[in-house]
Structure 1
Amino acid sequence: MHFSKIFAGLAMASSAMAALSPQQIADGIKSITTKSQALQAPAQSITILNAPLIAIGQGPFPTLIAGFQDIVSTGNTLIAQLAGTGPITKRDEKEHARDLSPRGPDADLVFGAFREHLQFVAVHQALLNILIGKAGLLEKIPIIGQPVATVLRAVEGVVDTIAIDLIGLTQSRANDLTSDANSLDNTLQLTISKYDSISTGL
């Protein structure tokens, strides 16, 4: 999914009482980022010898799949909480009078968690790029492809929904969030394609 046309429509959404503060949103994003970062070591450990152990529930892939499922669960919890959260406001009037930038500190906090601080996008892309690089080793092990592609589709659904929600909540950073979300989505789709190919042998 690409997000270039989404935020314009979201700008028309009605306000609601905030269920999460900007700090809580940022903390939720950082929690998912930390979980993704923890999966880089198992992904790096994939070899042609240990990959087939998925058949008996051993090796790195069961850990990776369980980790991605945990990311999906945590992401769905965040999504449910975001559903009742109103738009994140811009700078207050006095601050806005001094600085005409529409980017307020609250919106910057949420955007920072998505890209700048713990780098939600960069960390996920680093993990996915490891999996892309390992895919070439696994062409003769089709049992791996389907479960990995399936869990990555679930991750993609969660990431897409979080991105759409954040774009709607932080209109002042919508363009930046859209660009980052599209970049991550492209990497997810490439990874899914690689593991789909393993499962089909194509």
Structure 2
Amino acid sequence: MSTSSLLYVQQQLYIVGLSHATKSPGARIVFKTATMQFKLLTIATAFAGLVAAQKSELTPQTVVKSIEAVTDLSQDANNILTDLSFNNVFSLIPKALSNIREIAGAVRTDITMIAEADTSKPFPADGQNQVCEVFRDFVRVHQALLNTIIGKSSFLSGTPFTAPITGVLRTIEGGVDKLAFGIIDLVPTCKKGLASDKKDLDASFKKTFEAL
């Protein structure tokens, strides 16, 4: 089954679930689980495109979808941590930590696939702009996540979660460095902007590590 066909099937299953999601509390719980599975399937579909790319020329659309998938995970983690309080530290932090680990894994997959693809030629001008825009959006969303972590750092102090969160964030920081390095030569028309966005994200990482 092609990547586009797989995504179509996922969308139809999601729509069917949505139509039944409000019939009972139990159905809502099942649908919530199904929604997360749908997100993971969407991410897997994006990565499947990267797997195919290593056998052919890498396209801007493949890179865009992959970065968007990582951005979605960052947004999910931020949504979880926004609700963090002293009353729910030990219930929410494990969920957020699991999500942040998913971000690290997704970035690592992007790095591997882009490294194995054909990156010898720059993307067309419109494709370059698409990649730079989606990278900028990722930076914006991930900065929001880091700012939330900084704002909630008092809740993390003295808990066993500080060290693993710091460790995973450092992994993501290094991964984003490699990701940016892997795509920057593909986008010469906007590489300065991409490098600037990356520099801003580096500064946010530094502030986060100082707060934890």
Q: Deviation at 1:111?
A: 0.8
CA distance in 1, matches of 2:183, 2:105: 18
SS at match of 1:143: coil
Shift of residue 187, structure 1, vs aligned partner: 0.6
User: For this pair of structures, how many residues does the alignment match?
Assistant: 158
State the one-letter code of the partner of 1:105: D
Shift of 1:186: 1.0
Looking at secondary structure, tell me which structure has more helix per residue: 2
Q: Distance in 2 between matches of 1:167 and 1:17?
A: 21
Percent identity among equivalent residues?
Answer: 29
Deviation string, structure 1 residues 24-62 (Cα, Å, up to 9, x no partner): 0011010100111111221111112222x2xxxxx1111
Which position in structure 2 is the counterpart of 1:128? 146
Query: What is the aligned counterpart of 2:65 among 11, 14, 27?
Result: 27
Counterpart amino acid of residue 33 in structure 1: T
- After superposition, the Cα gap between the structure-2 partners of 1:88 and 1:106, relative to the gap in structure 1 and judged at 3 Å, is farther
Question: Which protein, 1 or 2, shows the higher relative CO under an 8 Å CA cutoff with sep ≥ 6?
Answer: 1
Q: Which runs of 5+ in 1 are unaligned?
A: 1-15, 54-58, 92-103, 196-202
Alignment of 1:48-197 (within 5 A): 48-51=86-89, 53=90, 59-83=91-115, 84-89=117-122, 104-115=125-136, 119-139=137-157, 141-195=158-212
RMSD of aligned residue pairs (Cα, Å): 1.9
The 2-side partners of 1:90 and 1:142 are apart by: 46
What is the TM-score of this pair, normalised by structure 2? 0.69
Contact 1:22 1:88 in 2 (8 A): no
Q: Residue type of the partner of 1:76? A: R
Which consecutive unaligned segments of at least 5 residues does structure 2 have?
1-53
Amino acid in structure 2 at the alignment position of 1:45? D
Normalised by the size of structure 1, how large is the TM-score? 0.72
SS at match of 2:122: coil
How far apart, CA to CA, are the structure 1 residues paired with 2:101 and 2:123?
35
2:129 is aligned with what amino acid?
Answer: D
